[in-house]
Amino acid sequence: MFENSQESRTNLSELGEFGLIDHLTKNFSPRLKSTIKAIGDDAAVLDFENEQTLISTDLLVEGVHFDLSYTPLKHLGYKAVMVNLSDIYAMNGTATQITVSIAVSNRFPVEALEELYSGIHLASKIYNVDVVGGDTTSSTSGLFISVTALGVAEKDEVVYREGANPNDLLVLTGDLGAAYMGLQVLEREKEVFKANPNAQPDLDQYTYLIERQLKPEARKDIPPLLKKLEVKPTSMIDISDGLSSEIIHLCKSSKVGANLFEEKIPLDPAVISVCEEFQLDSTTIALSGGEDYELLFTISQNDYDKIKGNPHLTVIGHMTEEKEGMHLITRAAQKLPLIARGWNSMGNKED
């Protein structure tokens, strides 16, 4: 269905020893003042002057984090960058540089890697980050993408997971559940395609969901928005594993409890309708779906007026004393304990 197909096919070995990475990165020219030396030496050289440095890394594995039967390689390159930038924005920072390492089996022609790198290049342009290094190697099977992102923030601007206080408001950017439901649609279409390769899927009504899954955008806009609104969150985290587990992370790091109000959780109408179609509970999807790359943060109640009515931000609950625990308050006013069911491939300490 969306199988990556390339008309021409150049074997990786044809580019020779140092040819591949030169070839793939030839259009990557650094733009930032902080990038003193990018690709081309033993290490990249950066100058952040007086700002603090942020660093985060993620490893994406074929067959675990992505399925190339419905993931275009260009989108995959773009997403690999987003996953990492999201962690920098979750510290209230500005992303500045990335390194990209890939291990790839020889079933991939050079043209496939060009596609992958075109997505990385596009992301680096749109998000204004320089690609300053990386490594390209062969793998015995499959594709592995390891991205490390660097960012900067003034010392007193960095927001950790651990600063939330009881009575702080719990605020979410954007809406939840779309990326997970996009994945469900893609998985269903894959099965349909397997049964009947001539089927012509009509995916128009799922466009938003599929885009959120295949080409997510990180919330680059939120740190400057918060600065403009003169709000410094007391704690912040990105939502990669579903709302539940991220609230639990914030609470545990900050030693507080939380009440989350089901009726406040922002859902796109497309999520509600596809959840009905799949007979899934949309709240469960928002709580545990993951891959939304939105930001979750807490603010002092005194700052409420500054964010009130902002279309990017929704107050979904508030923090409590630690001993009160972490709860979902349902539409029927039931109080249910929050449970981490976020998707996670074995454990990731950094997002």
Kindly identify the residues of this chain, within the stretch 281-320, that bind a copy of itself according to CB under 8 A: none
161 labelled as ligand-binding? yes
CA atoms within 13 A on the CB side of 70: 21
At residue 7, φ and ψ (nearest 5 deg) are: -70, -45
Q: Cβ 90 to a copy of itself, closest distance in Å?
A: 4
Between 238 and 262, CB nearer to a copy of itself: 238
Q: Quick count: other Cβ atoms within 10 Å of Cβ 320?
A: 18
17 labelled as ligand-binding? no
Between 41 and 305, CB nearer to a copy of itself: 41
Whole-angstrom CA distances from 223 to 9, 176, 184, 231 are: 43, 19, 31, 10
Is there binding between residue 22 and a copy of itself (CB under 8 A)? yes
Site for a copy of itself in 237-266 (CB under 8 A): 237-238, 245, 253
Site for a copy of itself in 118-137 (CB under 8 A): 132-137
Site for a copy of itself in 66-95 (CB under 8 A): 86-88, 90-91, 93
Q: How far apart are CA 140 and CA 113, in angstroms?
A: 16
| CA R_g for the chain | 21
3-state SS class at 336 = strand
Q: Quick count: other Cβ atoms within 10 Å of Cβ 284?
A: 15
Q: Quickly tell me which residue has 């390492």 as its tokens.
A: 101
In this chain, which stretch among 14-22, 115-123, 218-226, 324-332 interacts with a copy of itself, using CB under 8 A?
14-22
Q: How far apart are CA 88 and CA 350, in angstroms?
A: 10
Is there binding between residue 52 and a copy of itself (CB under 8 A)? yes
**Tell me, what amino acid is at 294?**
E
22 labelled as ligand-binding? no
Site for a copy of itself in 193-212 (CB under 8 A): none
Is there binding between residue 173 and a copy of itself (CB under 8 A)? no
Q: Cβ 117 to a copy of itself, closest distance in Å?
A: 12
Is there binding between residue 26 and a copy of itself (CB under 8 A)? no
Of the candidates 231, 217, 216, 258, the one whose C-alpha atom is nearest the C-alpha of residue 92 is: 231
List the binding residues for ATP: 117, 134-135, 161, 240
List the binding residues: 42, 56-58, 65, 87, 117, 134-135, 161, 238, 240-241, 291, 343
